[in-house]
Structure 1
Amino acid sequence: MADTRIPELLALNDVAKTCEAFPPGTSPYPPCERPIRSNRLCDAHNQQRAAGKELRPIRRRRRTMPEFCTGPGVEGLGTPCGLPAIGGGLCNAHYQQDKRRGELVPLFQLRISQDEAYALLQADLKRCPACKNVKPLGEFSRSSAQLSGRSTYCAACQPDYVLMKRFNFPSMEAVREFRESRDYRCDICTRQWQEGQGAFHIDHDSTCCPSRGPSCGKCVRGYLCKLCNTQGLSWYELVGRSMAVVPVFEDYLRRYERRRRDTLPPPA
């Protein structure tokens, strides 16, 4: 004959699996619904007892920020990023974009399927996520860090990516806008860059950030041709400024010093 008490026994067994810090009818507090770990208590109430404290209800932690990133998701879909948030409701990558005071942009602007990427690779082609063009593999430098054996960006976009990382620009587009704002002219001699010439340099204040390391972005001084940057200005800063004033170099340095002084917060 079946035991008619089985449902009651199962119910009692379910109740017994929860913390017994506040048994019903014997405590002014509502029963704790956390699972038992040891000593017929949950982890949190075990910690209270070990610390010699009176057992009290465990407050539920209030979230003060979204659990997932609210930054822009995949380009064109209009959905949020959705990666785990670390601060300010943003994932790590979008948090860094916001920290650089740049516009939040999608992290996956050109997400293609593995099948499409494999088909391109079989045809000796690769898609650049910056210019969004499909190009021959020969236009991508070799890289052992990538599964394809080639760098992520094509040869035309790779320099902008390097400059973005080194001088803390918010995006590769910001690097291009920096050059365009100067009409591709050297800030000292005003010579204009021409197609086929060596790349002009982005100059920064080495007294703020090391010459070979990444820059904070605030000490970028200007856009210079190779001759002015590596020979003229370098000589003037090391030796010439202490001997005689060269107006073109002095004006360039003074403009930066005024600009930097105007952007710094007032002393406390």
Structure 2
Amino acid sequence: MQSLLARGVYWCTMCQQELPAERFLTDAIRNGAPRSHCRACSGKRTRAKKFNLSFAAVDRLFAFQNYRCALCDKEYEDGDGLNLDHNHACCPDKGTSCGECVRGLLCWSCNAGVVTWYEGVRGRVTPIPLFEKYLNNPPAVAAGLVRRRP
């Protein structure tokens, strides 16, 4: 570990990559040593747990979407800033999901603002093709990570 840190890098045990040390959180319990997984993997692991998916499924969704918001197409390096969107009608408890209603990765603005607004007015306004495409064939379904719900 010390030889890696002396070079300014560290090994992520999850993505199996040597990465710059600044891409790791440090752990006070370990006297400021880097954690065993990078920030990106840590975020994916947290999302996977919260939304009842495997780490591999979340990792595949990030790759499938090229680390971009499914609606506004903004790129987020390492996925920081992307939220897992799910159908709240299926799982109304805030921040939890059965995993089968996960739709895709959205930035905060698209997740908390745009999709929430559109779902509230859907059927009462002229359909917006971009939103309809996302809701009818979400990236998680297109990537084969979850089944299309009837």
Please tell me the TM-score bracket, short chain as reference: 0.5 to 0.7
Taking the aligned partners of 1:121 and 1:183, their CA distance within structure 2 comes to: 29
2:49 counterpart (165, 182, 197): 165
- Cα separation, 1, equivalents of 2:5 and 2:62: 36
Distance 2:79 2:44 in 1: 16
Q: Does 1:253 align with 2:142?
A: no
Map 1:41-190 to 2 at 5 A. 127-133=11-17, 138-144=22-28, 146-149=29-32, 150-171=34-55, 173-189=56-72
Q: Which of the two has greater helix per residue?
A: 2
Aligned-residue sequence identity (percent) comes to 33
Question: Residue 244 of structure 1: which of 125, 133, 139 is its match?
Answer: 125
- Deviation, 1:185, is 4.5
Q: How many aligned positions are there?
A: 139
Higher relative CO (Cα under 8 Å, sequence separation at least 6) belongs to 2
Q: Which amino acid aligns with 1:260?
A: R
1:160 Cα deviation (Å)? Answer: 1.8
- How many angstroms apart in 1 are the aligned matches of 2:118 and 2:5? 53
SS at match of 2:84: strand
Q: Which runs of 5+ in 2 are unaligned?
A: 139-146
In the aligned structure 1, how far is the partner of 2:59 from the partner of 2:30?
A: 29
- SS where residue 149 of structure 2 aligns? helix
The DSSP-based 3-state class of the residue aligned with 2:37 is coil
Quickly say closer, same or farther: Cα 1:152–1:184, change in 2 above 3 A.
closer
SS at match of 1:227: helix
Residue 184 of structure 1: CA displacement? 4.1
2:141 aligns to what?
A: none
Take 2:115 and 2:123, find their aligned partners in 1: how far apart are those partners? 13
Pick the structure with greater CA Rg.
1
**Cα distance in 1 between the residues matched to 2:101 and 2:21:** 36
In structure 2, what is the Cα distance between the partners aligned to 1:196 and 1:216?
25
1:220, distance to aligned residue in structure 2 (A): 0.4
Q: Within 5 Å, give how 1:1-80 maps onto structure 2.
A: none
TM-score relative to the length of structure 2: 0.65
2:83 paired with 1:201: yes
Per-residue deviation at 1:161? 1.8
Structure 2 counterpart of 1:160, one-letter code: K
Could you tell me the TM-score, scaled by structure 1's length? 0.41
Gapped regions of structure 1 (runs ≥ 5): 1-116, 262-268
| Preserved contact between residue 120 and residue 126 of structure 1 (Cα < 8 Å) | no
Give distance in 1, aligned partners of 2:37 and 2:79.
Answer: 21
CA gap of 1:174–1:255, structure 2 versus 1, over 3 A, is closer
Provide closer, same or farther for how the CA distance between residues 183 and 120 of structure 1 changes in structure 2, counting only shifts above 3 A.
closer
The match for 1:226 among 90, 94, 108 is 108
Q: 1:112 matched to which residue of 2?
A: none
Deviations 1:64-106 (A, max 9, x none): xxxxxxxxxxxxxxxxxxxxxxxxxxxxxxxxxxxxxxxxxxx
**Could you say which residue in structure 2 is the equivalent of 1:25?**
none
How well do the aligned residues superpose, as a CA RMSD in angstroms? 3.7
Deviation at 1:176, TM superposition (A): 2.5
Task: Give the deviation of 1:133 after TM superposition.
Answer: 4.2
